């Protein structure tokens, strides 16, 4: 990998983790979706940069499938299938307030980065940045799931975690047979479709899509 | 090529049932498809009972005795659940269209599970594990009540979270394999390369896969989706989720056990024993304080997954046979328990244990089912769980795992008395309510058919099945 490509990839990785952290605190659901689209485009960009030298058609295919699936199909599916007006609403009932969430996100970023060093030492010739930022973003994705109460941001949290896993994957397993392409091409749109249907049913049954507040199922008389 | 027929019939049945005009014959189509899958699966098991392997596409679609054992368990529960669904859904009086969509989804769910043991490439296996969640979420929310939606959401979020962590484990394992100089990402390829794998990478992959798949299996503390989903999903779906879906994912971990065990510094046996025993212990205590009989059986699934994982930690030939025997016993018994719970729900209209009294006087079918199911799942002789649990304890003692055997025995006894305390309280006493409905004939027939393996396999294992168990255990221990 040339110096220029490597530096560009470093920039992409920095933006990737910033987007993931921003998803934890962006209250408007539409804006959260937009940040997820940018995060997915950054994953695709990293795949293109890593796949340029030495050339890897697997990484180019993965980048293309990511753009089509996560930047086009998923936002479209969610907008069509989930209740209208959802995207312009601000989510006010997050489990934690913004400063605390940001602090935890930063701590998780450092923790993910530190954990990744243990893995990077085992194979220093690979893109260490992807591995470190991937692990950090995976933990921040968990935080999104923990603090967001609305259905769509929770789904975006899962998808952000998946993006993080594939950010590591494109560095450690660039010629991975089929799985990444197939998963992103078929599983992820299916996931978005099912979540959107479930969100619709929840809205119809309970008049809300704040799934994080559901707490009727408990062990007890 | 006949092995491809097994998932194909489920897929074809799903496509047929999705056609709006097929609503009336949807249950028949599902039962016929599941019966075909079961017959072919029996043929496959008999073919592979002496340890052969069938490869349709080498490196991608291959099945050995261990895979064939899981295929027959999935096909068996698929068939009985299809039969139970027939009468169960008729009672609920949904529209024909909703019923046919249920059957389409049900067959797709079965299809995704049937593919797992037929595949040998780990990436594809992961995709089908994730598909089992995606294709069953709407089955869990089928009742369309607020509680069912909540249960489905929790199930989806927790298991997909697990799948996302597991995919990183799969990628890490591929990297580890690559670094060891191999590209054969199959069960056998991984086992061959295992001694050359890097410790840091292998341990990271192990932790990610244990946590990721552990969420789907329902290992403590990632088990919380299980009682919620099982209390809300229709009973035949519970039978599929509990009886075989959890086992199908545990099968993936079991197949990877010896890959990780090749690195002695990883202490895989210790990890399996600790996680397994914690799951058994916590589940036993949760069983005692359960208030909903479907949740009670869900906690029992957590217990059984823990028992199987603990048995796999023993690393001996007899321990491996016992592990797979327990998996078999769990599949046939737990599905039976959920059919019995479904019958009780039809008769009483409630899942609350405290609201059900004198069931013996209300319905012989439901009460006999609950009694047999409770005794069987608790491990009472001579039913199928009893010899498998005895075999596990014997294997633990032979391997000098005395603490493991003692702890396991204590937890199993607590769970047994917990289950029987709740079941007897429901069966005895003065009937507290009117009979809501009678148990439909197809549900009674299912209970009768599903009781046969529960009662018979504890005292007699057919030669073909016994051979297959031995051959599968050899694959597991290889």
pLDDT band, very low/low/confident/very high, at A201 (cuts 50, 70, 90)? confident
Instruction: Find which of A70, A112, A123, A179 to mutate to test the B interface (most B CBs within 10 Å of its CB).
Output: A179
Residues in chain B closer than 8 A to A211 (CB atoms):
150, 153
Q: How many CB pairs below 8 A link A and B? A: 141
Q: What is the pLDDT of residue B378?
A: 93
Instruction: Find which of B111, B171, B202, B351 to mutate to test the A interface (most A CBs within 10 Å of its CB).
Output: B171
Instruction: With beta carbons less than 8 A apart as the criterion, state whether B45 and B69 touch.
Output: yes
Instruction: With beta carbons less than 8 A apart as the criterion, state whether B315 and B341 touch.
Output: no
Instruction: With beta carbons less than 8 A apart as the criterion, state whether B307 and B407 touch.
Output: no
Token readout for B59 is: 């490196």
Tell whether B303 lies on the interface with A, counting CB pairs under 8 A: no
Q: Tell whether A220 is covered by a domain.
A: no
Q: What is the pLDDT of residue A219?
A: 66
Partner residue opposite A177 with nearest CB, options B164, B185, B228: B185
Q: What is the pLDDT of residue B167?
A: 92
Phi, psi of B153 (to 5 degrees): -65, -45
Closest Cα partner for B240 from B155, B350, B160?
A: B155
Check A198 against B165: CB less than 8 A apart.
no
DSSP state letters, A176-210: --SHHHHIIIIIHHHHHHHHHHHHHHHHHHHS---
Instruction: With beta carbons less than 8 A apart as the criterion, state whether B405 and B397 touch.
Output: yes
Instruction: Find which of B160, B169, B291 to mutate to test the A interface (most A CBs within 10 Å of its CB).
Output: B160
DSSP state letters, B53-104: -EEEETTTEEE-HHHHHHHHHHHHHHHHHHHHHHHHHHHHT--HHHHHHHHH
* Domain span holding position A102: 3-213
DSSP state letters, B4-45: GHHHHHHHHHHHHHHSGGGGGGHHHHHHHHHHHHHHHHHHHH
Phi, psi of B183 (to 5 degrees): -125, 5
Query: Which carries the bigger pLDDT value, residue A187 or residue B357?
Result: B357
Region of A205 please: left (phi>0), alpha (psi -120 to 50) or beta. Answer: alpha
Q: Tell me which chain A residue has its CA closest to the CA of residue B134.
A: A191
Phi, psi of B333 (to 5 degrees): -80, -45
Q: Indicate the average pLDDT of chain A.
A: 86
Q: Tell whether A31 is covered by a domain.
A: yes
Instruction: With beta carbons less than 8 A apart as the criterion, state whether B201 and A119 touch.
Output: yes
If DSSP codes are grouped into helix, strand and coil, which group holds residue A90? Answer: strand
pLDDT band, very low/low/confident/very high, at A220 (cuts 50, 70, 90)? low
Phi, psi of B186 (to 5 degrees): -120, 175
Partner residue opposite A169 with nearest CB, options B149, B171, B352: B171
Q: What is the CA radius of gyration of chain B?
A: 21
pLDDT band, very low/low/confident/very high, at A92 (cuts 50, 70, 90)? low
Phi, psi of A30 (to 5 degrees): -60, -40
Residues in chain B closer than 8 A to A206 (CB atoms):
146, 149
Distance from chain centroid for Cα B440: 25
Tell whether B149 lies on the interface with A, counting CB pairs under 8 A: yes
Closest Cα partner for A189 from B128, B131, B18, B161?
A: B131
- The ranges of chain B with pLDDT < 50 are none
Burial (CB < 10 A; 0-12, 13-18, 19+), residue A97, is exposed
Q: What does the pLDDT look like over A16-72, one tens digit per residue?
A: 999 999 999 888 888 999 999 999 999 999 999 998 888 888 889 889 999 999 999
Residues in chain B closer than 8 A to A187 (CB atoms):
127, 130-131, 134
Is the ipTM, as predicted for this complex, more than 0.85? Answer: yes
Distance between terminal CA atoms of chain B? 26
Q: Which of residues 356-375 of B touch A (CB under 8 A)?
A: none
Whether the predicted model's global pTM rises above the 0.90 cut? yes
Task: Domain count for chain A, please give it.
Answer: 1
Nearest-Cα distance to chain B for A66, in Å, is 16
Nearest-Cα distance to chain B for A3, in Å, is 24
Q: What is the pLDDT of residue A87?
A: 67
Closest Cα partner for B330 from B312, B306, B354?
A: B306
Token readout for B198 is: 């890097």
The crossing angle, in degrees rounded to 10, of helices B293-312 and B364-378 is: 30
Q: What is the pLDDT of residue B409?
A: 97
Partner residue opposite B178 with nearest CB, options A141, A173, A219: A173
DSSP state letters, B362-379: T-HHHHHHHHHHHHHHHT
Q: DSSP character for A76?
A: H
Q: Residue A221 pLDDT > 60, yes or no?
A: no
């Amino acid at each position: 990998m040339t110096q220029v490509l490597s530096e560009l990839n470093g920039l992409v990785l920095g933006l990737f983790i910033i987007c993931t952290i921003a998803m934890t605190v962006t209250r408007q659901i539409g804006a959260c979706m937009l940040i997820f689209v940018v995060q997915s485009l950054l994953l695709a960009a990293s795949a293109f940069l890593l796949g340029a030298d030495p050339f890897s058609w697997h990484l180019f295919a993965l980048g293309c499938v990511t753009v089509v699936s996560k930047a086009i199909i998923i936002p479209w599916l969610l907008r069509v299938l989930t209740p209208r007006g959802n995207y312009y609403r601000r989510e006010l009932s997050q489990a934690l307030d913004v400063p605390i969430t940001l602090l935890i996100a930063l701590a998780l970023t450092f923790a993910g980065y530190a954990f990744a060093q243990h893995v990077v030492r085992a194979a220093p010739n690979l893109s260490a940045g992807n591995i470190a930022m991937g692990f950090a973003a995976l933990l921040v994705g968990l935080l999104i799931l923990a603090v967001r109460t609305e259905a769509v941001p929770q789904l975006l949290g899962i998808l952000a975690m998946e993006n993080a896993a594939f950010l590591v994957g494109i560095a450690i397993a660039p010629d991975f047979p089929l799985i990444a392409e197939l998963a992103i091409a078929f599983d992820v749109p299916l996931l978005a479709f099912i979540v959107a249907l479930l969100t619709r049913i929840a809205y119809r049954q309970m008049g809300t899509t704040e799934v994080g507040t559901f707490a009727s199922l408990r062990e007890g008389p | 090529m006949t092995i491809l027929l097994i998932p194909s019939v489920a897929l074809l049945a799903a496509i047929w049932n999705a056609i709006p005009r097929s609503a009336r014959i949807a249950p028949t189509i599902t039962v016929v498809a599941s019966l075909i899958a079961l017959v072919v699966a029996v043929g496959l098991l008999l073919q592979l009972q002496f340890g052969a392997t069938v490869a349709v596409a080498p490196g991608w679609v291959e099945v050995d005795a261990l895979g064939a054992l899981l295929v027959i368990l999935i096909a068996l529960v698929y068939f009985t659940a299809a039969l139970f669904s027939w009468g169960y859904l008729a009672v609920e009086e949904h529209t024909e269209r909703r019923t046919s969509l249920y059957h389409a989804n049900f067959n797709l769910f079965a299809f995704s599970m049937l593919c797992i043991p037929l595949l040998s490439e780990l990436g594809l296996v992961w995709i089908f594990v994730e598909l089992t969640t995606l294709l069953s979420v709407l089955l869990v929310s089928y009742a369309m009540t607020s509680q069912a939606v909540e249960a489905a959401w929790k199930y989806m979020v927790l298991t997909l979270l697990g799948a996302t962590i597991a995919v990183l484990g799969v990628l890490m394992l591929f990297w580890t394999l690559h670094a060891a100089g191999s590209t054969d990402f199959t069960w056998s390829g991984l086992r061959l390369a295992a001694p050359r794998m890097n410790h840091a990478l292998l341990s990271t992959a192990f932790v990610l896969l244990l946590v990721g798949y552990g969420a789907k299996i329902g290992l403590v503390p990632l088990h919380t989706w299980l009682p919620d989903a099982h209390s809300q999903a229709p009973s035949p779906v519970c039978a599929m989720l509990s009886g075989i879906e959890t086992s199908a994912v545990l099968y993936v971990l079991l197949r990877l056990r010896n890959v990780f065990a090749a690195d002695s510094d990883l202490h895989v046996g210790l990890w399996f024993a600790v996680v397994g025993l914690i799951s058994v212990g916590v589940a036993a205590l949760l069983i005692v304080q359960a208030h909903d009989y479907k949740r009670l059986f869900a906690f029992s699934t957590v217990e059984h997954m823990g028992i199987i994982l603990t048995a796999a930690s023993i690393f001996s030939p007899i321990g491996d046979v016992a592990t797979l025997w327990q998996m078999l016993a769990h599949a046939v018994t737990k599905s039976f328990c959920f059919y019995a719970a479904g019958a009780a729900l039809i008769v009483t209209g409630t899942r609350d244990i405290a609201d059900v009294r004198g069931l013996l006087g209300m319905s012989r079918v439901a009460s006999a089912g609950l009694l047999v199911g409770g005794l069987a799942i608790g491990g009472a002789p001579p039913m199928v769980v009893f010899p498998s649990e005895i075999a596990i304890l014997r294997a633990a003692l032979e391997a000098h795992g005395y603490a493991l055997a003692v702890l396991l025995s204590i937890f199993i006894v607590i769970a047994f008395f917990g289950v029987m305390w709740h079941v007897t309280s429901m069966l005895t006493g003065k009937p507290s309510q009117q009979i809501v409905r009678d148990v439909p004939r197809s549900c009674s027939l299912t209970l009768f058919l599903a009781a046969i393996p529960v009662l018979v396999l504890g005292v007699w294992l057919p030669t073909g099945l016994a051979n297959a168990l031995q051959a599968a255990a050899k694959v597991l221990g290889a």
